[in-house]
Amino acid sequence: MKKRLIALLLTMLILCAPLTAFAENADETGGTIEPAEPALPAGTTLIDEEALNSWMDGYIAEHGLNGSRQDFSVGFCYTATGDCWFYNADTWMYSASLYKVPVSMLIAEKVAAGELTQESIIMGTTVEYLESTALVYSNNTSGHNMVDYLGGTYLGKCSDMTIPYTDLSEEYFDQNFYDLSYYTARYMTQVMKTLYDNPERFPHVMEFLLQALPDNYYNIKLGDRYEIAQKYGSYEEPNGNKNNHCAAVIYTPTPIIVTVMTRNADYFETRIAEVGSYLADYSLTLDARAEQLRIEEEERLAAEAAAAQAAAEAAVSAGNQSPDPPASGTGGSGMSSAQGTEAQARSSKLPMILLGLAGLIFILILVLLVIDRRNTPGGTGRVASPAARTAVREREQSRASESPARKPKTEKRADTPTAEKKEYRPRH
């Protein structure tokens, strides 16, 4: 019985092998070629820098932000493409409390690496307390304690440790960055982008920033429309310079990163909110443009897939026909109309061919099963039960006892008279 089953399985495998190969060949040559997933073309740039520069020039002039001791810097990143726009973004200003973001990221990296947990005690309190109070409430003591734990200086604020959060070379950084924690809008925008792109690398930081200042800075204009993860900094230096900044991830339909840094700007909080609101609205126009580009890219990929499909069908047709002169009107290249029709017809017959082969295998298996059952005891095509087999053996033994005994040929002995051989003598 086992041998028969093995034979059945081998038969099925032998028949299925060409069927599988046929199906794979159909996928390669006669099946449908799906277009690739549509996406924005590589290197797509959506931001119109000239338009934004023109608007910013007008805004600064309108609000008198171009005085001799005034500075107004902006960094903007559209996260869908990574496009960035910067305005006066390489002016170094005292960071104030902005430093608490990259310093918290340094602590959070240790949590992600398993060196610390949110419940770990450092500087007399938990990691969670230090991060939350520094980011949500801008607590200076918590910020300084994190700097001390990391081995930074009171004025430098671990600045040198945070350079890897940007793609800026060391030559970019002013000495005041290392010694006095001076930042630029370009630097801070890149730090925020690194944070946005890697939430698992910096656990809990974005969570705390989402809770900060629900009624201030960017939330003044946008708080009722979008979630905002922001950190402000405000500090008046001994020389009288008033620094007021805010860096944020604004969760528009496609999130954006906005950094505004100001020095000696009047109504700084309102100005920061207005610039953030303008850039949030501007990002909606980028969304529309990006969607249009995706549609165009999808159409292009679909056209490429259709061309590849036609080429595959032409290759199948050319492989199954002897070379013939090109049909009139084809110019000696490509498939004729008849060839294209034949390729389509052959492709449409594929399901019927597969179904027919599957039916043939099924019928063959049934035939083999029937033959196997007919060879069972009793010849009835049913598998005999133990009782039935016993009854058959008893009937055979009864018949054997009633019939005359017959000596098998093997019982003859060579020494009996019947077994004696006559001597053969040739005639003379």
Two tokens, residue 209: 């920033």
Give the residue among 278, 228, 256 at the shortest CA–CA distance from 55.
278
Rounded to whole angstroms, the Cα distance separating 243 from 236 reads: 6
Could you give the C-alpha distances from 138 to 43, 102, 332, in angstroms and in order?
38, 13, 76
What does the pLDDT look like over 270-300, one tens digit per residue?
A: 999 999 999 999 999 999 998 988 888 888 8
Mean pLDDT, range 92-103, rounded to an integer = 98
Rounded to whole angstroms, the Cα distance separating 211 from 37 reads: 37
Structural element, H or E, at residue 53: helix 49-62
| Cβ partners under 8 Å of residue 344, min gap 6 | 313
3-state class of 3 per DSSP? helix
Give pLDDT, residue 388: 54
Give pLDDT, residue 372: 62
What does the pLDDT look like over 115-161, one tens digit per residue?
A: 999 999 999 999 999 999 999 999 999 999 999 999 999 999 999 99
Strand order in the sheet with 256-263: 83-87, 71-78, 256-263, 242-250, 228-236
Could you give the C-alpha distances from 263 to 1, 268, 425, in angstroms and in order?
93, 9, 144
Domains of the chain: 49-293 (3.40.710.10)
H helices of 260-336, where? 268-319
pLDDT at 23 over 50: no
3-state class of 158 per DSSP? coil
DSSP codes, 319-386: HTS---PPPTTSTTSS--HHHHHHHHHHHHHHHHHHHHHHHHHHHHHHHHHHHHHHTSTTSSSSPPPH
Give pLDDT, residue 370: 63
Confidence of residue 424 (pLDDT cuts 50, 70, 90): very low
pLDDT at 218 over 80: yes
Give pLDDT, residue 39: 62
pLDDT at 187 over 80: yes
121-122 and 125-126 beta bridge pairing: antiparallel
Give the residue among 32, 33, 41, 34 at the shortest CA–CA distance from 295.
41
Percent of the chain with pLDDT over 90: 56
Give pLDDT, residue 295: 87
Give pLDDT, residue 127: 98
Mean pLDDT, range 84-112, rounded to an integer = 98
Confidence of residue 338 (pLDDT cuts 50, 70, 90): very low
How many degrees, rounded to 5, is the angle at CA 248 between CA 245 and CA 250? 140
CA dihedral (34, 35, 36, 42) in degrees, to 10, reads 170
414 vs 187, more confident: 187
- Average pLDDT of the chain is 81
Give pLDDT, residue 30: 45
| Cβ partners under 8 Å of residue 305, min gap 6 | 33, 34, 35, 36
Contact 106, 158 (CB under 8 A): yes
Mean pLDDT, range 14-20, rounded to an integer = 53
Q: How many residues does the chain have?
A: 428
199 vs 295, more confident: 199
Give pLDDT, residue 298: 84
Question: For residue 228, what are the β-bridge partners?
Answer: 250
Contact 127, 149 (CB under 8 A): no
Contact 247, 258 (CB under 8 A): yes
Percent of the chain with pLDDT over 70: 68
Give pLDDT, residue 166: 98
Contact 133, 146 (CB under 8 A): no
Question: For residue 230, what are the β-bridge partners?
Answer: 248
- Its pTM stands at 0.65
Give pLDDT, residue 225: 97
Give pLDDT, residue 72: 97
Q: What is the CA radius of gyration of the chain?
A: 43
